[in-house]
Amino acid sequence: MEKATADLARLVPRLVAVWRGLRQGARRGPRPPPDRLLPDELREVAAGVARLSGGLTRERALAGARYMDDPRLLGAYLLFYWPTSYLQARGVFSELPRRPGAVLDLGSGPAPVAFAALHAGASDATAADRSARALAAARALAAEAGEPLATKPWDPTRPGALAQLAAGRTFDTVALGHVVNELFAGEAAAEKRAALLEEAARLLRPGGSLVVIEPALRDTSRQLLAVRDLLVARGLSVRAPCLFQGACPALARETDWCHAERPIEPPPLVAEIARAAGLRKEAVKMSYLVLAPPGEGWAAPPPGRVFRIVSEPLPSKGRLRYMACGPEGRLGLSLQEKHVNDRNRRFEKLLRGDVVALTEVEPRGDGLRLSEASEVRVIARAGEAVSGPPTLSPALPLPGGGARQP
């Protein structure tokens, strides 16, 4: 994430310049600092961020509303949530099997995901949204940054809108950042969301990727997993983060969900706005899926007993534990302190999202226990692509007996 963070730092003055250019009643007088806000500006943005935070993460009254058409909320998004969405997308694009190529950013707002794609090596990007004001901000930012960004109107609630938008064109990457959870509320929401993603996946070129990024809230994460299961049942395959090919095991208990987390050092401006709004911004958290085009099968996992870490470290008296998910399903991994040695010491430093291969483990309780003989090998760090062999590995034993085909 270091390069992404550095790229974002160079964008911050441009974000501020665009915000000031779009702001109604902008201050006249001496030129303000390019990368910091004046006291009255900070108060205005912090108030907008507080409204967005409450409306999108707590009571969710703004979810699905046209808040991007409100100049103050758009401005708050541009200076606070835009950088976070940019870093989220950069993290996901780093897991794609190839560069993003030609990108369609659906429900783009002022296009943080499109900019992330361009900085991750995309050849071109089109931002599509129903808010003309948000698209104007995206164009202004593209002009400031000298990026080849196109914009088009798109209303996801209008039948046929996606086909009309694409106009027969296909893409290497289609992305939806913080969009799906705000669409199609009600009992049939999961079916309608899955139908939209199926339609978007049909716009992919062979080898392309459908990228879906959602908030890391429990409810929105579980909703995304429910949509995932519908798509998997209809034959779509998941590139990331899933190594398990059946129905998501995180949905078995209502208290479980699945999200990614990347520690970051936020830009000083974002940290200042967070403090002023009474929020904390110490990590990038998200739920996400990367889906392959229709007809493309699941990639085989790396050989051996492979797991993605899906929790923070869970220390208890005399041992360290993680929740993990792999071809065998979702289960706990544990290692007692007295068994730590050079072969398994990496276990102590694992992060949520890391993919590891283990040897010499044994079933214990609801998971697997490592021992002095166990070896821990990190196959991919969080945010890195996972590569595997060209053929499927054989069925793997489950804790407590039985086997599941990966």
User: What average pLDDT does the segment 231-245 reach?
Assistant: 96
Number of C-beta neighbours around residue 75 at 10 A: 24
pLDDT band at 28 (very low <50, low <70, confident <90, very high): low
Give one DSSP letter per residue of 276-293, joined into a string: HHT---SEEEEEEEEEPP
Cα dist. 367→175, 332, 361, 363 in Å?
Answer: 35, 4, 10, 6
pLDDT digit string, tens, across residues 145-201 = 999 999 999 999 898 999 999 999 999 999 999 999 999 988 899 999 999 999 999
What pLDDT is stored for residue 111 in this prediction?
97
pLDDT band at 404 (very low <50, low <70, confident <90, very high): very low
pLDDT band at 22 (very low <50, low <70, confident <90, very high): confident
Secondary element (H or E) of residue 382: none
Residue recorded with tokens 């390069």: 3
287 vs 289: CA distance, rounded Å: 7
pLDDT digit string, tens, across residues 279-321 = 876 678 899 999 999 999 999 888 899 999 999 999 999 999 9
pLDDT digit string, tens, across residues 254-268 = 999 999 988 777 889
Q: Is the dihedral of CA 79, 130, 293, 295 positive or negative?
A: positive
Residue recorded with tokens 């009474």: 278
Type of residue numbered 145: A
Residue recorded with tokens 């007809």: 295
User: What average pLDDT does the segment 38-67 reach?
Assistant: 85
233 contacts 200 by C-beta, under 8 angstroms: no
Q: Give residue 136's Cα distance to chain centre.
A: 25
What pLDDT is stored for residue 25 in this prediction?
53
As a whole number, the mean pLDDT across the chain is: 90
Length of the chain: 406
Regarding pTM above 0.85, the answer is yes
Number of C-beta neighbours around residue 164 at 10 A: 12
- pLDDT exceeds cutoff 90 at 38: yes
330 contacts 244 by C-beta, under 8 angstroms: yes
What pLDDT is stored for residue 29 in this prediction?
60
295: Cβ–Cβ under 8 A, 6 or more apart, which residues?
235
Strand partners, 241: none
Percent of the chain with pLDDT over 70: 93
379 contacts 308 by C-beta, under 8 angstroms: no
pLDDT band at 30 (very low <50, low <70, confident <90, very high): low
What pLDDT is stored for residue 396 in this prediction?
32
Percent of the chain with pLDDT over 90: 76
Which of 23-27, 39-43, 393-397 has the least mean pLDDT?
393-397
User: What average pLDDT does the segment 327-341 reach?
Assistant: 96
- pLDDT exceeds cutoff 50 at 74: yes
145 vs 111: CA distance, rounded Å: 13
pLDDT digit string, tens, across residues 344-396 = 999 999 999 999 999 999 998 889 999 999 999 999 999 898 875 433 333 33
